[in-house]
Structure 1
Amino acid sequence: MHIRKLKEEDAEQFLELNKQLDDTGYMLYDPGERQTSVENQRKGIARMIDNPSNHFLVAVENESLIGFIAAFRGNLNRNKHSAYLVLGVDKNYRGRGIASMLFEEIFFWSRNHGITRLELTVIKHNQPAFNLYSKMGFILEGEKIHSLMIEGEPVNEYYMYKLM
């Protein structure tokens, strides 16, 4: 397994990975809701990687994408010291330290780019993710009440942060 930057050529595999992650119920999209074409995914990747405020890494095993982490840095003087993170790991590869390795790469990038605050959100009932984020040094900052609707029911999210 190795970690590298996301490339436009990854569009088809990245789209499939995201659809699989959507099916877990822990990502922003509902299962089956993501209707992006491979070409639109390729264009989206091009926009993301062209933006110097973004840092997007993928975990690859046997030429297959098995996980990713994205950092979206603020663009203004008042928030360019912070970055919002999104993480996803293929359910078949969880528990193998891949997420921890992705985080370590983002921590390295953050320190080298003047980012002093990392933040993320996690669905309140996603205890495994909450435990991972805590293990990686993220601290519970607050709870956003009824921030999501999942299967017609309101669900809360935790806001977490890590100072670098």
Structure 2
Amino acid sequence: MTDSLIPWDAEGNLDVLTFDLESETFALEAAQVQEILDLLPETGVPGAHPLVGSVVNFRGKIIPLADLRMAFGMQAAETTLESRIVVIEMAVEGEPIQMGIRADSVHEVAALNRGASEAAPAVGMRWRRDYVRGLVRRPEGVIVLPDLNAIFSSVLGGGVPSMPSITH
């Protein structure tokens, strides 16, 4: 996929919401983010994939709750006072759905710069390369842009259209 498919603005920036999982900082496109919530009561779904093993009641609507730790091979973690649910909207089989994403903590909306971005390296990553749209260097460290479509299509059997990867 080409860089031109990434929704960079005229200055080469992409607005994202940054959040932590373990010691890593991840980012979701701000345009996808609907709301940031304190933790809600969860209902486990018997037989569901561990990535999306429970649901929550969000404003009277039942939405799946995803734990990206499972996709990135991280251990399940106890919730803390900093834990949050980031509610996003994404297209699945052409239909918009809302989904919650667990976060250990949520930081800020930030502008990432295309000049500091690069594709995930072919070697040296502890995660599946196809689960990472790109990496962006910042003074505080590297921010990981997860490829939610690739991650969730492993659960949904390919029902999620692909998003472009970040490359130069």
Q: TM-score if structure 1 supplies the norm length?
A: 0.30
Task: Tell me: higher relative CO, structure 1 or 2? Use CA pairs within 8 A at least 6 residues apart.
Answer: 2
Q: TM-score if structure 2 supplies the norm length?
A: 0.30
Q: Structure 1 or 2: larger helix share? A: 1
Q: Structure 1 or 2: larger strand share? A: 2
